[in-house]
Each structure stands twice: as structure tokens, then as C-alpha cells.
Amino acid sequence: MADQLLNERDIEFLLYEFLDTEQLLQRPRYREHSREIFDATLKTARTIADKYFANHNAKGDANEPSFDGETVHLIEETKQAWDAFAEAGFLAAHYDFNEGGLQLPEIILRASLATVSAANVASAGYPFLTLGAANLIHSFADEKLKAQFLPPMMDGRYAGTMALTEPDQGSSLADIRTSAEAAADGSYRIFGQKMFISGGDQSLTDNIAHMVLAKIKGAPPGVKGISLFLVPKFLLDENGEPDKRNDVKLAGLLHKMGYRNTTSTVLNFGEDRGAVGYLVGEPHKGLAYMFQMMNEARIGVGVGAAVLGYQGYNYSLQYARERPQGRLPSNRDPQSKQLPIIRHADVRRMLLMQKSYVEGGLALCFYASSLFEDQRTAETEEQRRNATALLNLLTPIVKSWPSKYCLKANELAIQVLGGAGYIREFPLEQLYRDNRLNPIHEGTEAIHGLDLLGRKVPADNMAGYGLLQCEMRNTLMQAKDIEALAPLAAALEDALEKLDVVTRSLFGQMQQDIDRGLANATLYLDVFGRVVVAWIWLRQALAAEGALSASVSMEEGNFYRGKVQAARFYIEWELPEIEAQVALLTSGNMLPFEMDESWF
């Protein structure tokens, strides 16, 4: 692994210069906090990431979990990592003081988790899933379930999972078949099979709380009949301690390309007499509840993708600085000293492209995280409502853009190393294999394209879309006044208009024929993502130019100039690719849709 996890200076920039995280301290929830506490939290996360997660990232990949028919075996470092994470309080950090938490803001937790993911995304899977499951219980379960399951999930005795997918349905939740029958004691009996359940079994915790989507017998068809159940691995005895095995069986482990140290499982519920499950919240509202978890998880996927890209960037940058090879074309003297490969134009292109993807991706995720915070703790109701509208709009992009482009960053990092990038003796090929999951889980690109164009943009009379336009125009106004940024602002303004034209054109097409109108939604997602990330980069450049206008050290100056150059690169090299895409979309080019199946 690269010597550093992410880039401390960049995290600081994103939190305190690109975003204004310090202003959170003025909000009532954070009055007892300080910048020092935030920074100490980040430092703790970095220490744990370094010591307990980075140490077995490669080992966990080479020695993936195994199942002997009884027990799942993980390399022992996984348990040490889990314990260290729990002991540092990160499983409870975002809850209020009076709930036993540290009352930390979302963005500080998110930045902390980012560092842990950067160290070892697979071992980070267990605590991350547990955080999500606990949040669901916290938000929707009754007091009894909360009392039974939340405390041990907050201190690391229990873990949690998210059990949605079934063998016959992945993307189409309407068609899940897992069923629930009411039992006399008010609990339910769950029957069905779930697949691709991450962390579905392990040897880390005393119990696992599976958050299972199932349909109560007689429920309405489709997504309106889905309920959410907590199905524990072990049933609790009268003292609330794990006792007998519930009727949940591990049918087997799946063997992934990457993310290997996170178990991926097939679980059978109710093979014998029915798995005992407890209804969470009201019947038939399971999907809405699950979406809370999914939306958080989707930001998590974006961050995961960004940090895997970031680690590849770090490593390939370090390699390019150190590896001598070849000379400039102008130098024809084979006896002259070879240059470090960072001096070659194409290596620089690959590094700058990676920088624009990974720092752009992480900035996008952190921005989303700030919206997540604002929707809960911003001062006015309007601010909170606006944050929700913006976050809902941006979630498909926050999930999909880093998953696509930070994966591409990993490909570029491999390419910088050449043959060394292709062998397991170097860390890059694992990063790529790990990252390849991100465009798939928590909704494929296609799903998010449909969500963006079909739901999120039109939602509430385009409220979120309108807000985003305002935010962007606000940035444009500021950037236009700065000489170095004015051309970038002009390019983004032009792109913004194109996005508007294409959006309205697609709405027209959707009104005529919804299937055709949505046929190119993935392309629209890509256009939208590029425009948003161009804006994120312009905002970073604005912060950097602001800092450069004062007197800064040479090192600081270099950092800020790198930000400005990456913003220029993104806007001059990447953003213009939307033109061809916009032309296809507005002309209603339906070639793929019109490809007859028999022609393949």
C-alpha cells in the first residue's frame, strides 16, 4: 500500500476550505465540540486505519474467508480491526451523548471512515454495514428491539447486515419472494433465500442482526408489500443474551473478484421451522425504511470508490517520482541519465487525470455528506428542506460518478506502473479488483440513471434541480471575478445550459413515450455527473485561488496550484466530452433501444 492513507492536507482542505465544517460548531448539537475534537477524531481514525486495517489489506485478499460447513473463518487480524474500531467508539460516534454516542457530525465520521476504507475496504465492510443496520433500528424499530439490539451494535458485540437481494432478483425489489408469517407471540417466521449478503456470516461478533426485506402473507404486490424485519443470527434468551441459533443458515460463500475479506453469502431463512423475525416499524413500509439505509450506503459506496482510487493515485504518484525510465523525445543521447517517469507527458496526464477523479470524487462525497448533516441540523427548516432536496437529487451521482471514474483512476494507476501494476507483488491490481464492485452494488449505473432522470430531477417540480442550478450559478458569479477562473466559469456556464437543454428535451421525450424517453438515462447520468463534478472542481479552485491571493508558503502554494490545475484539467479535458453526449440525447438517438434482439 502507498505510504500514506489519502492525503491529510487534502482532507483538511476539503473539510475546512472547500467546505466550512467549522461553522457546524455554532449549531446547538455541536456546541460542546471544537475543531480540536474534530481533528483528534480524524487522527484516531488514521491511527486505527494504519495499525489495524492497512496491516492486513493484502493478506485478507490472499486469504479470503472460508466456510467449513459450520464456521466461517477469517484471518485473525480482521477481528483485531473490528475490535479496535469498536473500542474507539466509531460504531456509536454519531449518536447523541444521551444515547451513549459522541454526538459527532456526519462529515467528521464520514472523513474518519474514508480513512479506514482507504486502508482496507474489505475489513471496513463489517463495521460499515453494522453502522447502517443500527441506524435503521435506531430510526424505525420499537423501544424493545432498540434496547435489545442497539447497545451491543454500538459497542461491537453484534454486527448487522442488509439483506435485500435474492437469487432471482437483484435490481427488481418488487419481485422479492422472501415471505413472513405472523406468529402467535407477535414475531414473524421468515422463509426465503437471500444472496450477495455482505457480512452475512463471520466469526467476529456474538450475534448478527440481519435487516431483511420480506413480504407478509397477503401483502399488496410489488414494492408496496415489502416489510422490514430484524432477523438475528442467534435468538436472545430472557436476559437478552444470544442463545439458540435462529433458523438462518449459511448456504455458502461467494467468491468475489475483490473485496475478498468481506464475506459475501447466500443465506437460507426458515429451512426448518421458520426464522424468527421482528417487524421493524409498520408493515409494508419496509422499502421506504430501507431507502434511508441505502441512501447512506450510497454515499458510502461513493466514498469507498473515491478512496480506492485515491490510494491508487498515491501509489502511482510515488512510483512515478521514483522510477527512472527513458528520456524526453528531444534527448537522443542514450548515455544521458534516465528520467523519473513523472517527467513523461503521458504519465503526467495519467496522474493528473487520476487526481481530477479521486480528489473530485472525494470532494463530491464530502459535499453530499455536508448536505446529509444540513438536512438534520441546519438552522432553519428551509435550509434543512433544501439540503434534503439537493441530497436526494445528487445521491445517484454521488454513488455512480466515483464508482465509474475512480475505478478508471485505478486502471490508470496500473498503467503508470506498467507490468508492475499487473502483478500481485504490487498493491494496484487489488485496488482495481476491490473497486470494480462499486459500480454494481447499491444499484448499478443503469438503476441510478433511471432514478435520476425518472424520479430525482422531476421530483417536487424540479425543486432539487432548481436549487442545484442556484448553487452552481452562485459559484459561477464568484469565479467570473477571478481572472484565472473566468474561462473555467464560462465553460461551466455553457455546460449548465446544455444540461438544461438536454433535461427539457428528455422530459419531452418521456412525455411522448416513457420507455424511449428513459432509454438513454445512463448517458444522461454521465452528463449530469460531469457537470456536477466540474462545478465541484470550480469550487475547489475558488477556495485555492482565495488562499493563493494571500501569502502562502511554497509548499502550500504548490498544493493550491495543483488544485487549480486539476480544476482546469477537468473542465478543459473532461467536461467537453458532454457535447457529443448531449447531441445524442437531444436528438433522441435510440440506436441501442432499437437494436432488435435477433440482430445480436
Q: Which of residues 444-483 bind a second copy (CB under 8 A)?
A: 444-446, 449-450, 454
Considering beta carbons, is residue 147 or 595 the nearer one to a second copy? 595
Whether the Cβ atoms of residue 513 and residue 567 lie closer than 8 Å to each other: no
Of 237-276, binders to a second copy (CB under 8 A) are 254-258, 264
Tell me which residue of 334, 347, 219, 232 sits closest to 286, measured CA to CA: 219
Q: What are phi and psi of 415, to 5 degrees?
A: -65, -35
The binder of a second copy chosen from 8, 76, 87, 168 (CB under 8 A): 168
- Decide if 442 is catalytic: yes
Q: Should residue 553 be labelled a site residue for a second copy when binding is judged by CB under 8 A?
A: no
Burial (0-12, 13-18, 19+ Cβ within 10 Å), 389? buried
Identify the H or E element spanning 459. helix 459-480
Q: Should residue 290 be labelled a site residue for a second copy when binding is judged by CB under 8 A?
A: no
Q: Should residue 562 be labelled a site residue for a second copy when binding is judged by CB under 8 A?
A: yes
Considering beta carbons, is residue 100 or 324 the nearer one to a second copy? 324
Q: Should residue 511 be labelled a site residue for a second copy when binding is judged by CB under 8 A?
A: no
Considering beta carbons, is residue 43 or 321 the nearer one to a second copy? 321
Q: Should residue 174 be labelled a site residue for a second copy when binding is judged by CB under 8 A?
A: yes
Q: Should residue 593 be labelled a site residue for a second copy when binding is judged by CB under 8 A?
A: yes
Q: Should residue 359 be labelled a site residue for a second copy when binding is judged by CB under 8 A?
A: no
Q: Should residue 415 be labelled a site residue for a second copy when binding is judged by CB under 8 A?
A: yes
Q: Which residues contact 100 (CB under 8 A, 6 or more apart)?
A: 92, 151, 154
Tell me 185's DSSP state: T
Residue matched to cell numbers 426448518 = 272
Of 372-401, binders to a second copy (CB under 8 A) are none
Considering beta carbons, is residue 75 or 420 the nearer one to a second copy? 420
- d(Cα 263, Cα 243) in Å, to the nearest integer? 23
Q: Should residue 56 be labelled a site residue for a second copy when binding is judged by CB under 8 A?
A: no
Q: Should residue 498 be labelled a site residue for a second copy when binding is judged by CB under 8 A?
A: no
Considering beta carbons, is residue 372 or 559 the nearer one to a second copy? 559
Whether the Cβ atoms of residue 287 and residue 353 lie closer than 8 Å to each other: no
**Number of residues in contact with a second copy under rule CB under 8 A:** 101
Considering beta carbons, is residue 184 or 554 the nearer one to a second copy? 554
Tell me which residue of 11, 15, 19, 90 sits closest to 49, measured CA to CA: 90
Sign of the CA dihedral 456, 451, 356, 53? Answer: positive
The binder of a second copy chosen from 344, 399, 498, 539 (CB under 8 A): 344
Cell of 600: 445480436
* Per annotation, catalytic residue among 442, 445, 545, 574: 442
Whether the Cβ atoms of residue 87 and residue 155 lie closer than 8 Å to each other: no
Tell me which residue of 356, 314, 149 sits closest to 234, measured CA to CA: 149
Specify which residues 232 forms β-bridges with.
209
Q: Should residue 580 be labelled a site residue for a second copy when binding is judged by CB under 8 A?
A: yes
Q: Should residue 596 be labelled a site residue for a second copy when binding is judged by CB under 8 A?
A: yes
The binder of a second copy chosen from 101, 170, 283, 458 (CB under 8 A): 170
Q: Should residue 345 be labelled a site residue for a second copy when binding is judged by CB under 8 A?
A: yes
Catalytic residue set = 442
